[in-house]
Amino acid sequence: MKALLIIAHGSRRHQSNDEVTNIAKQIRTCEEHDFDIVESAFLELAETLIPTGIERCIKSGAKEIIVVPYFLNSGTHVTKDIPEIISAQKSLYPDINITLTRHLGASPVMLDLILQTASDTVIN
Amino acid sequence: MKALLIIAHGSRRHQSNDEVTNIAKQIRTCEEHDFDIVESAFLELAETLIPTGIERCIKSGAKEIIVVPYFLNSGTHVTKDIPEIISAQKSLYPDINITLTRHLGASPVMLDLILQTASDTVIN
């Protein structure tokens, strides 16, 4: 089974965390992907933390976990903190294939997202 | 003339600010939109600040400015700080059509961006 784990920074503001959890829920219910499991987790300040998110995916039967950092910029969290946590998780679960992707801000689709957001509002 | 102004939070880390500036540059050079002017600006901590970004668009000839918040979550910056700044700018330039869009994280395209990022890395 294959899992998608979306990692956000985490906020003291519950609503911000709920937005991330809701994105995971929306992806879970849409059918345009081949993930059997979709979870979200946070680097800090909010539950679920990353190790618990990984554990949850594995308990749900995941043999492969794709971890996507929900971050716009390549700061220390993206370049150092998250890779270190994921590396430790890989050592902990050597039989599980855990892959860390680039952060969202590095995607070429980001340009489309900005233009789409700009044009949506002009229409409305 | 029509301008796109991308607004990010701003960071003490130059590289993070440069990433935003580079996104504006990439959009400027791509041809899949009808913006004559593409600029970026920051809420705080970095130059150019939002009022200067607006002024720059107007000096370049913009009569319409679409302002897109480059933010993932709907915190106070998105719900209060940025709308207040944009409102003040609208009062300052009543002849310019300034529109503030929703923030990137609120876009339904965000789901595609996450799935695209996940699948890219699996292929690589």
| Mean pLDDT confidence for A107-114 | 90
Q: Which candidate, A106, A105, A100, places its Cα nearest to that of A85?
A: A100
pLDDT of B121 > 70? The answer is: no
- Residue in chain B nearest A17 by alpha carbon: B73
CB contact (8 A) between residue A8 and residue B99: no
Q: Which candidate, B65, B56, B47, B46, places its Cα nearest to that of B5?
A: B65
User: Distance between CA B109 and CA A27 in Å, rounded?
Assistant: 11
pLDDT recorded at residue A124 = 41
pLDDT recorded at residue B123 = 44
Q: For residue A47, give how far its alpha carbon lies from the nearest alpha carbon of chain B (Å).
A: 17
pLDDT of B48 > 70? The answer is: yes
pLDDT of B122 > 70? The answer is: no
HSE toward the beta carbon, residue B69, CA cutoff 13 A:
25
- Domain A2-123 has what CATH class? alpha beta
pLDDT recorded at residue B85 = 98
Helix (H) or strand (E) holding B35: none
pLDDT recorded at residue B67 = 98
Q: Give the start-to-end residue ranges of the domains of chain B.
A: 2-123
DSSP state of A103: P
Residues of chain B with C-beta less than 8 angstroms from the C-beta of A13: 73, 75
Residue in A33, A86, A117 to test binding to B, most B beta-carbons within 10 Å? A117
pLDDT recorded at residue B61 = 98
Q: Convert the pLDDT of each residue in A46-74 to its tens digit.
A: 999 999 999 999 999 999 999 999 999 98
The catalytically annotated residue of A9, A14, A33, A77 is: A9
Cα–Cα distance list, A102 to A71, B34, B54 (Å): 9, 30, 32
Residue in A9, A18, A110 to test binding to B, most B beta-carbons within 10 Å? A110
| Mean pLDDT confidence for A6-26 | 94
- Residue in chain A nearest B23 by alpha carbon: A111
- Residue in chain B nearest A40 by alpha carbon: B114
pLDDT of B124 > 90? The answer is: no
Residues of chain A with C-beta less than 8 angstroms from the C-beta of B70: 72, 114
Tokens of B80: 């209060």
Contact B105, A15 (CB under 8 A): no
Q: Convert the pLDDT of each residue in B60-88 to its tens digit.
A: 999 999 999 999 998 899 999 999 999 99
Per the model's pLDDT, the better-predicted residue between A107 and A96 turns out to be A96
pLDDT recorded at residue A108 = 85
CB contact (8 A) between residue A109 and residue B116: yes
Q: Convert the pLDDT of each residue in B13-31 to its tens digit.
A: 899 999 999 999 999 999 8
pLDDT recorded at residue B31 = 81
In B9-91 the beta strands, taken as DSSP E runs, fall at: 37-42, 64-69
Assess whether B9 carries a catalytic annotation: yes
Q: Which candidate, A102, A28, A33, A83, places its Cα nearest to that of A60?
A: A28
Q: What is the percentage of chain B residues whose pLDDT exceeds 90?
A: 84
Q: For residue B94, give how far its alpha carbon lies from the nearest alpha carbon of chain A (Å).
A: 18
| Mean pLDDT confidence for A104-124 | 82
